[in-house]
Chain A
Amino acid sequence: MSALPAQFADWFATKGWHLHPHQRLLLERAEDPAALLIAPTGGGKTLAGFLPSLIETAAAPGRGLHTLYVSPLKALAADIRRNLMIPSRDMNLPIRIEDRTGDTSYSRRQRQRADPPDILLTTPESLALLLSYEDAPRIFRGVSRVIIDEIHALADSKRGDQLMLSLARAERIAGPFRRVGLSATVEDPAALAEFMAAGAAPTRILQADPGPDPDLSILETEAVPPWNGAGAHYAIPEVLAEVKKARTTLIFINTRAQAELFFRALWMANDEGLAIGLHHGSLSREARQKVEAAMQTGALRAIVCTGTLDLGIDWGDVDLVIQIGAPKNVKRLVQRIGRANHRYNAPSRAILVPANRFEVVECRAALEAVYARELDGEPRGPGPKDVICQHILIAACAGGFDPDALYEEVTAAGPYRELGRAEFDDCVTFCATGGYALQAYDQWQRLKQGIDGHYRLRDPRSAGRIRMNLGTIVDTETLNVRLKNRRGGKPLGEIEESFAATLSPGDTFLIGGEVVRYEGLREMVVEVSREATKKPRIAVFSGTKFAASTSLSHRVLDLLQAPDWPDLPAHTRDWLNLQRRMSKMPTAGRLLVESFPCDGREFTCFYGFAGRNALQTLGLLMTHRLELAGLNPLGFVATDYALLIWGLDAIHDPLPLLGADGLMDGVETWLAGNAVMKRGFRNVATIAGLIEKNLPGKRISGRQATFSSDILYDTLRKYDPDHLLLRLTREEAMRGLVDFGRIEEMLSRIGGRVDHVRADGVTPLAAPLLLEIGKVPIRGQAEEHLLAEAAEQMMRAAGLS
Chain B
Amino acid sequence: MRSYEFILSGARLSALSSGALWWSETGILVVSDLHFGKSLRAARQGGAMLPPYENRDTLERLERDILKQNPAIVICLGDSFDALQAADEMEPAEQSWLTCLMAGRQWIWIEGNHDPGPVGLGGAHMAVLRQGPLSFRHIADPDASGEISGHFHPKTRISVKGRNLSRPCFLIDETRVILPAYGTFTGGLRSDAEILQELMGPDSVAVLTGKKAQPVPMHL
Residues of A within 8 A of B48 (CB): 434, 446, 689-692
Contact between A434 and B188 (Cβ–Cβ < 8 Å)?
Answer: no
Interface bits B156-196 vs A (CB < 8 Å: 1, else 0): 01010011111000000000000001001111111001000
Could you tell me which residues of chain B, from 51 to 68, have a CB within 8 Å of some CB in chain A? Answer: 51-54, 56-57
Contact between B51 and A716 (Cβ–Cβ < 8 Å)?
Answer: yes
Contact between A718 and B162 (Cβ–Cβ < 8 Å)?
Answer: no
- Residue among A443, A689, A695, A720 with max Cβ neighbours from chain B (10 Å): A443
In terms of DSSP, what is the predominant structure of the interface of chain A?
A: loop
Contact between A438 and B53 (Cβ–Cβ < 8 Å)?
Answer: yes
* Interface residues on chain B, size class: 20 to 34
Q: How far is the CA of A444 from the CA of B49 in the complex (A)?
A: 7
CB distance from B83 to the nearest CB of A (A): 11
Residues of B within 8 A of A506 (CB): 159, 162-164
Could you tell me which residues of chain B, from 14 to 54, have a CB within 8 Å of some CB in chain A? Answer: 40, 43-44, 46-54
- Set B47, B50, B91, B152: member contacting A440, Cβ < 8 A: B91
Let me know if A32 is at the binding interface, CB within 8 A. Answer: no
Contact between A443 and B43 (Cβ–Cβ < 8 Å)?
Answer: yes
Contact between B164 and A704 (Cβ–Cβ < 8 Å)?
Answer: no
Residues of A within 8 A of B5 (CB): none
Contact between A719 and B53 (Cβ–Cβ < 8 Å)?
Answer: yes
- Set B46, B53, B189: member contacting A704, Cβ < 8 A: B189
Contact between B187 and A706 (Cβ–Cβ < 8 Å)?
Answer: yes
Contact between B185 and A519 (Cβ–Cβ < 8 Å)?
Answer: no
Let me know if A24 is at the binding interface, CB within 8 A. Answer: no
- Set A433, A459, A461, A704: member contacting B153, Cβ < 8 A: A704
Let me know if B141 is at the binding interface, CB within 8 A. Answer: no
Let me know if A458 is at the binding interface, CB within 8 A. Answer: yes
Q: How far is the CA of A445 from the CA of B40 in the complex (A)?
A: 10
Contact between B51 and A434 (Cβ–Cβ < 8 Å)?
Answer: yes
Contact between B52 and A434 (Cβ–Cβ < 8 Å)?
Answer: yes
Contact between A459 and B46 (Cβ–Cβ < 8 Å)?
Answer: yes
Let me know if B203 is at the binding interface, CB within 8 A. Answer: no
Q: What is the total number of residues of chain A having a CB less than 8 Å from a CB of chain B?
A: 42
Residues of A within 8 A of B185 (CB): 707, 711, 715
Residues of B within 8 A of A691 (CB): 48
Known interface pairs A443-B44, A719-B57. Does A704 touch B50 (Cβ–Cβ under 8 Å)? no
Residues of B within 8 A of A436 (CB): 49, 51-53
Known interface pairs A436-B52, A504-B163. Does A715 touch B43 (Cβ–Cβ under 8 Å)? no
Contact between A690 and B50 (Cβ–Cβ < 8 Å)?
Answer: yes
Residues of B within 8 A of A434 (CB): 43, 48-52
Residues of A within 8 A of B165 (CB): 505
Known interface pairs A434-B50, A692-B48. Does A705 touch B162 (Cβ–Cβ under 8 Å)? no
Let me know if A450 is at the binding interface, CB within 8 A. Answer: no
Contact between A702 and B47 (Cβ–Cβ < 8 Å)?
Answer: no
Contact between B187 and A708 (Cβ–Cβ < 8 Å)?
Answer: yes
Let me know if A712 is at the binding interface, CB within 8 A. Answer: yes
Could you tell me which residues of chain A, from 686 to 735, have a CB within 8 Å of some CB in chain B? Answer: 689-692, 695, 702-708, 711-712, 715-716, 718-720, 723
Binding site for B on A (CB under 8 A): 433-434, 436, 438, 440-441, 443-446, 457-459, 461-462, 465, 504-506, 518-520, 689-692, 695, 702-708, 711-712, 715-716, 718-720, 723
Binding site for A on B (CB under 8 A): 40, 43-44, 46-54, 56-57, 89, 91, 152-153, 157, 159, 162-166, 181, 184-190, 193
Report 12 cross-chain contacts, Cβ distance below 8 Å, ordered by A residue: A434-B48, A434-B51, A440-B52, A441-B40, A441-B89, A504-B163, A505-B159, A506-B159, A692-B48, A704-B186, A708-B187, A719-B56
Closest 10 CB pairs of A and B: A505-B164, A434-B49, A462-B46, A707-B187, A704-B153, A459-B46, A719-B53, A506-B162, A506-B163, A443-B44
